Amino acid sequence: MEADAEGPRRLSPGTKAGVGRDAAKAISACLTCRRKKVKCSGDKPCTYCHRRDLECRFPEPGKKRVYSVTRIQDLQERLARYESQGLVFAPVDGAREADTGRVAAGSPRPATGYGSTPTDNATQVNAASTLLGLALDQLGSPAGVTTSRGNTTNVVGSSPGSAIAADSSLSSSHAFGSRLQNLLEHPRGGREDPPHRTSIFPQRPSAPRDQDDAPTPAPPLPSEEEARRLFESMSFFIGYTQHHVDTREFSDRLAFFYANLPEDQEQKKTPWYLEMLLVFAVGKLFSGSFDGDGETEGIPGWDTFRYVEGRMPSLSGLYEMGALGVEVQALVAVYLQNANRKEEAYLYISSALRLAMTHGYHRSSGTRHLLQSEKVHLNRLWWTVYMQERRLAAATGNPSGISDDVIEIDMPNDSPGFPPALPLRSNIKIARVTGRILTTIYGPGNHPEETFVPGVQDIVQSLYWIAKEIPGDFSGRLSGLPSIEGDVSMRTSAYLHMMLYQAILLTIRPVMLHVSKLIFDDGDNGGGLGLGTSPLGRLSRTCSEAARRLLDVLMSLRKTNMLTTFGFFDLDAIFSAAFIMILTLVIDSTRDEGEKTAPTPGLADALVILDYLAGRGNKFALQRAREVRRMRDLLARFLDIPKSSPGEGARRGEGDRPPKSVGDGTGAASQLGSRSLLDSSLWNDISYLWMQQPGQGADDDAQQPPFEPCGVADVLMDDTYDYYSIYHNQDLALTGQDLGDFGELERHILGFGGE
């Protein structure tokens, strides 16, 4: 017995349990014992607090996480890169309460091992909080999303790399391209950083106002004939899709102004005089007519616009002007938007929307006391401002200024003496759907699958019904009218085609960008992905086809000299199509020669159109063309794609004719054709991505597309949730803005080339 007592003591099961409880108590000490640095019994209340009648509180239990050494090293390497670039990390979902500031330029870079720590205390705190933020980002973004329904389980994994939170500001084309550039400049973790280079995207032009107090001199007035040509130019390129002024009233007042000009100089002091000058400036911008006005800035009509802006009334004065104040603000926004100053345009159109709301133009009672022609004008003016504000909010990544629920008036209807209302209604519907696309697909945060999938299904269905409304042209409605009306009809139809194709590309483009990223991340350059017959490959071809048709419309406008030289939507459509054609080159690099998409028109044609606009003085088109070529040449270094597009040089000289003269009698409306915008083959592929849920009644069948492909329903019920994970891939910061998503692609290309 004594020997046993002197030997090693064996613990009984009860003793082991007691030791475990003691260890748990030591770990779970109350806050009071921790603060006083005394031993805690672990009971509640503990012995120490009970004897001294102290408050005994224990900390909330938290989950314990274990990280591998390689994971910590990867976070430290990424932290070192972020600190060297001076990035700021914002709190994520309220998990981080302490703000992390910009890292000082002289802060030492932490090593990749455990042994070294920053020497400066402030840097140490900043590095620790930043590293914690990175860890929280990773914990909030799981490596894969698994959804189980019935006996089927789908797993869509996200690729490794930096997770960038998407936000609504990236709906802007500029932010879209900036993110694409950022994707190229910051390769995946564990690689060396590429050499730092300045942003290739241009800054906005200088502020319109002079820094001194010298007033801008009054611009010389054009002749009455030239004034009418500028007015017709604005009306022609806008077509029937917008309504800023009552053309009949404006034409009468223009004739009255010039008839009394020599004697009555007081009319130059009226608010309508400013509106007239704005119409002249917009007409010069659309037609590309410098005439000494704006040549120093490279923007036609700039001097006239600066004069008007310097004499704009206050908001109180604009409110007293009634509808004229709304028209002036909207025209200022039109000029600024097409002069590539969309942020300032958003400010003006927001003011126009607020003025119109204050006057009650969105209410049925707001115009009840007016004549019928005035009601029609104000109805169309309201919807034009509404549509313009929606588009600029999307272009700048800002929220819209009014909810659809508070609008009481109907959409425009046909009325004697006014242009057809169908183009304006279609444009309004496209703007509404575009807003829903940016909210549902590109909006901030992750939307639950049960609301996201039906939301996208509703978007695609809306696009289909809008496409059914848009004919190839409106020439059938305009028989017997002068040929100028036929040309306006073609320009109107082409504009609606552009806007609808843009909405289709916005809906499908994330899938195509996801496929490109899979190719970059694949060790076999995408050879093992099997894109030929997969749903992803089919949807990528659908997106390429939509971009090809968009280019087809743009080339038709160019051949008939109806392409706007300084047009925001025209240039945006060209660049958007070029962006898709670059993604097509990436995907075609994984296919055999006979399976390549090789769309015609393609990237070479997009570059030819950009060169055409650049040759007519549009420096923004020149910058876009340079960026597209740089991206194409960069891809040619890593992938099996041609460095120069076939036939680009041969086609570059085509279409360099002078701009269309409004009223030249060409009557080119029939050249666009009346082909259905979405034929069955293209719609089948789009419905393959998002289709209506099964189980609809027989009454609903008549409202569904009659050409839904056989067998798609069985596939989509599984694929739909895979696509949901693709759209919410944290490795792709997609925003809907062409330049922003262009930069996101470039980031992955540089990461691909850094291997």
* Residue pLDDT, tens place only, 449-474: 677 777 777 888 888 888 888 865 44
User: Of 101-105, 349-353, 619-623, which one has max mean pLDDT?
Assistant: 349-353
733 versus 632: which is more confidently predicted? Answer: 632
Of 148-162, 325-339, 434-448, 729-743, the poorest mean pLDDT is in 148-162
Of 294-298, 499-503, 703-707, the poorest mean pLDDT is in 703-707
Report the pLDDT averaged over residues 686-695. Answer: 47
Round to whole Å and give the CA distance between 114 and 123.
16
> Cα torsion for 454, 457, 458, 460, to the nearest 10°?
160
Interacting residues of 598 by C-beta distance below 8 A, sequence separation 6+: 588
142 versus 626: which is more confidently predicted? Answer: 626
Of 138-152, 253-267, 636-650, the poorest mean pLDDT is in 138-152
Contact 582, 636 (CB under 8 A): no
pLDDT of residue 439: 78
Interhelix angle 535-559/680-689, rounded to 10 degrees, is: 140
Two tokens at 533? 């017959």
pLDDT of residue 283: 94
Examine the pLDDT at 654 and tell me if it is beyond 60.
no
pLDDT of residue 460: 82
Examine the pLDDT at 606 and tell me if it is beyond 50.
yes
Interacting residues of 745 by C-beta distance below 8 A, sequence separation 6+: 180, 183, 184, 513, 516, 579, 582, 583, 631
Two tokens at 743? 């930069």
Residues in the chain: 755
pLDDT band at 519 (very low <50, low <70, confident <90, very high): confident
Examine the pLDDT at 231 and tell me if it is beyond 90.
yes
Category of 582 on φ-ψ map: left (φ > 0), alpha (ψ -120 to 50) or beta: alpha
Examine the pLDDT at 116 and tell me if it is beyond 60.
no
pLDDT of residue 107: 40
191 versus 40: which is more confidently predicted? Answer: 40
Round to whole Å and give the CA distance between 346 and 253.
29
Examine the pLDDT at 276 and tell me if it is beyond 90.
yes
pLDDT of residue 683: 55
Burial of residue 504 (CB within 10 Å: 0-12, 13-18, 19+) is buried
Amino acid at 419: P
The candidate with the shortest Cα–Cα distance to 736, out of 566, 547, 572, is: 572
The candidate with the shortest Cα–Cα distance to 517, out of 493, 491, 536, is: 536
* Residue at token pair 């694949």: 522
Look over the chain and give the mean of its residue pLDDT values, rounded to a whole number.
70
The candidate with the shortest Cα–Cα distance to 95, out of 49, 143, 139, 161, is: 139
The candidate with the shortest Cα–Cα distance to 518, out of 530, 505, 504, 533, is: 530
pLDDT of residue 105: 39
Query: If residue 156 lies in a helix (H) or strand (E), which one and from where to where?
Result: strand 152-157
Interhelix angle 568-588/619-638, rounded to 10 degrees, is: 10
pLDDT band at 274 (very low <50, low <70, confident <90, very high): very high
pLDDT band at 313 (very low <50, low <70, confident <90, very high): very high
Examine the pLDDT at 422 and tell me if it is beyond 60.
yes
Examine the pLDDT at 655 and tell me if it is beyond 60.
no
Which regions of 272-376 does DSSP assign to beta strands (E)?
A: none
Report the pLDDT averaged over residues 158-180. Answer: 45
542 versus 360: which is more confidently predicted? Answer: 360
13 versus 373: which is more confidently predicted? Answer: 373
pLDDT of residue 337: 93
CA distances from 536 to 159, 255, 503, 686 (A): 16, 59, 19, 11
The residues spanned by each domain of the chain are 16-62, 69-140
pLDDT of residue 176: 52
pLDDT of residue 424: 94
* Residue at token pair 């009970």: 50
Examine the pLDDT at 202 and tell me if it is beyond 70.
no
Contact 583, 537 (CB under 8 A): no
pLDDT of residue 525: 58
pLDDT of residue 218: 80
Q: Helix (H, G, I), strand (E, B), or coil: what is residue 746?
A: helix
Report the pLDDT averaged over residues 274-295. Answer: 86
Round to whole Å and give the CA distance between 652 and 610.
10
Distance of CA 502 to the CA centre of its chain: 11
Report the pLDDT averaged over residues 241-257. Answer: 94
Of 65-74, 205-214, 261-270, 552-561, the poorest mean pLDDT is in 205-214
What single-letter DSSP state applies at residue 143? S
What single-letter DSSP state applies at residue 690? S
Three-state secondary structure of 558-603: HHCCCCCCCCHHHHHHHHHHHHHHHHHHHHHCCCCHHHCCCCCCCH
Contact 161, 751 (CB under 8 A): yes
CA distances from 144 to 67, 156, 158, 727 (A): 18, 6, 6, 13
pLDDT band at 640 (very low <50, low <70, confident <90, very high): low
Report the pLDDT averaged over residues 392-398. Answer: 81
pLDDT band at 293 (very low <50, low <70, confident <90, very high): low
Report the pLDDT averaged over residues 159-178. Answer: 45
Q: Helix (H, G, I), strand (E, B), or coil: what is residue 289?
A: coil
pLDDT digit string, tens, across residues 722-736: 555 555 555 555 555
Report the pLDDT averaged over residues 254-262. Answer: 89
pLDDT band at 380 (very low <50, low <70, confident <90, very high): very high
Query: If residue 251 lies in a helix (H) or strand (E), which one and from where to where?
Result: helix 247-259
> Cα torsion for 286, 176, 579, 164, to the nearest 10°?
180
Examine the pLDDT at 185 and tell me if it is beyond 50.
no
What single-letter DSSP state applies at residue 48? H
Round to whole Å and give the CA distance between 486 and 492.
10
Report the pLDDT averaged over residues 614-641. Answer: 85
CATH of 16-62, one of 3.60.150.10, 1.20.120.1200, 4.10.240.10, 3.10.20.30: 4.10.240.10
Two tokens at 465? 């019904």
pLDDT of residue 593: 74
What single-letter DSSP state applies at residue 242? -
Three-state secondary structure of 513-529: HHHHHHHHHCCCCCCCC
pLDDT digit string, tens, across residues 5-53: 444 444 444 444 444 444 444 457 888 888 888 888 888 889 998 888 8
- pLDDT over 90, % of the chain: 24
Examine the pLDDT at 236 and tell me if it is beyond 80.
yes
pLDDT band at 403 (very low <50, low <70, confident <90, very high): confident
pLDDT digit string, tens, across residues 489-510: 788 888 898 998 888 888 888 8
Interacting residues of 737 by C-beta distance below 8 A, sequence separation 6+: 170, 171, 172, 173, 174, 175, 176, 177, 179, 395, 397
- pLDDT over 70, % of the chain: 57
Q: Helix (H, G, I), strand (E, B), or coil: what is residue 296?
A: coil
Round to whole Å and give the CA distance between 36 and 50.
15
Two tokens at 46? 């503990």
Report the pLDDT averaged over residues 222-249. Answer: 92
Of 61-70, 107-116, 281-290, the poorest mean pLDDT is in 107-116
Examine the pLDDT at 215 and tell me if it is beyond 80.
no
Interacting residues of 128 by C-beta distance below 8 A, sequence separation 6+: none
Contact 160, 720 (CB under 8 A): no
